[in-house]
Amino acid sequence: MCFVLTLSNGGIDPVITIADSLTIATDLAATGGAAADSNPRQNRVYRIKSTTHAAHAPFAVCPPFYPRFHPRFLPLARFPITFESRRSVTSTSAAQEHERPRFTFGENWRSFLERLDDKRVTEAEQSLQQMLGNSSLAGKRFLDIGSGSGLFSLAAHNLGADVVSIDYDHDSVGCTQELKRRFAEHASNWQIDQGSVLDQARIESLGTFDIVYSWGVLHHTGEMDRAIEIAANATQPGGQLFLAIYNDQGGASRRWLKIKQTYNRLPKPLRPLWVLAIASWYECKFALARLARLQNPSPLKDWRAKREDRGMSAWHDWVDWVGGLPFEVAKPERIIMPLRQHGFVLNQLKTVGNGWGCNEYVFERLETNK
């Protein structure tokens, strides 16, 4: 079963949102005999079919149990798309953002690098290959906005790309440099810089790229919409834009903001205890949910999936999640629609459904838009 949604620029009475359709797909999976995952952070992949040159371009949102070998998507119904304003849970004023506590992502990445091994590098390479749909990036320019540990810059380099890594955080830049020293010390096609995606002139000076990659970064800038626009402008026609943005859960997102603010206000020695308390509470909830479904309550399977997907340990993922400020969230349509109006089509969507975490988007910029 498959939903085909028609994206419209206006003039049609609203019926249902993309986010609502994802909920329907998830509900169908639960009631149609497919086992529902007890972890709300479990990713669900929706296959996208887009008609790029039509005035109203349809794309399909399919539940994960739909037969993947089927030659085409079968339309069940067509829904116009409504627009919901992005929920900002922090101020969009740059001046105010500089006065707010800011999570030091680089410190977390330094600890992560101590445990980085070849297996995680390989998993990062496979993750890129799967989402981008390419086994090789040879001859492509790859911009990593918010490189963090440098893991995915390294993965892109190993796949043959010419890489530019940029990060606002000084310690994160140091982590990326250390990773390059350890794995690709003499590489001349890997450039590492410190800077902000909000520095439009700086980003424009780097030129355009075949692949612009920013995973879990732009929602931490304090000006997410502007950051996405600048990243999109750095994508050359025919290129790909790979974003991961926090899912908007409404009230739950506001509660997470309070948790993050508490972390950043605590003295550093107490912060790991706060992470441990929050992580333990949620991991116990996940375990009980799995047990209620007669599944193994152990979190090890979920932790392995996180490592395979992002190359990140469960602990470092929790620290990043509990502490990360600034913090903004968005429903899928608030990412998809503005980019579509600027000549981008969505090739792949991996969503957390109604859960918390990042929705992942891979867009392609049309050749006709210069």
Q: What percent of the chain has pLDDT over 70?
A: 67
Quick one: pLDDT at residue 169?
A: 86
Quick one: pLDDT at residue 359?
A: 96
Highest mean pLDDT among 63-72, 76-85, 167-176: 167-176
Ordered by start, the domain boundaries in the chain are 3-79, 94-100+107-249+330-365, 254-323
pLDDT at 86 over 60: no
Taking CA 211 as the corner, what is the angle to CA 206 and CA 213, rounded to the nearest 5 degrees? 90
Q: What band does 315 get if pLDDT is binned at 50, 70 and 90? A: confident
pLDDT at 244 over 50: yes
Over residues 151-163, the pLDDT tens digits come to 999 999 999 999 9
Q: Which residue has the tokens 């990042």?
A: 358
Indicate the CATH number for domain 94-100+107-249+330-365: 3.40.50.150
pLDDT at 26 over 60: no
* pTM exceeds cut of 0.85: no
Over residues 110-138, the pLDDT tens digits come to 666 777 889 889 999 999 999 999 999 99
Over residues 186-197, the pLDDT tens digits come to 999 999 999 999
Q: Which residue has the tokens 């000076």?
A: 205
Residue among 82, 52, 1, 27 at smallest CA distance from 340: 52
Burial (0-12, 13-18, 19+ Cβ within 10 Å), 64: middle
Over residues 41-57, the pLDDT tens digits come to 444 444 443 333 333 33
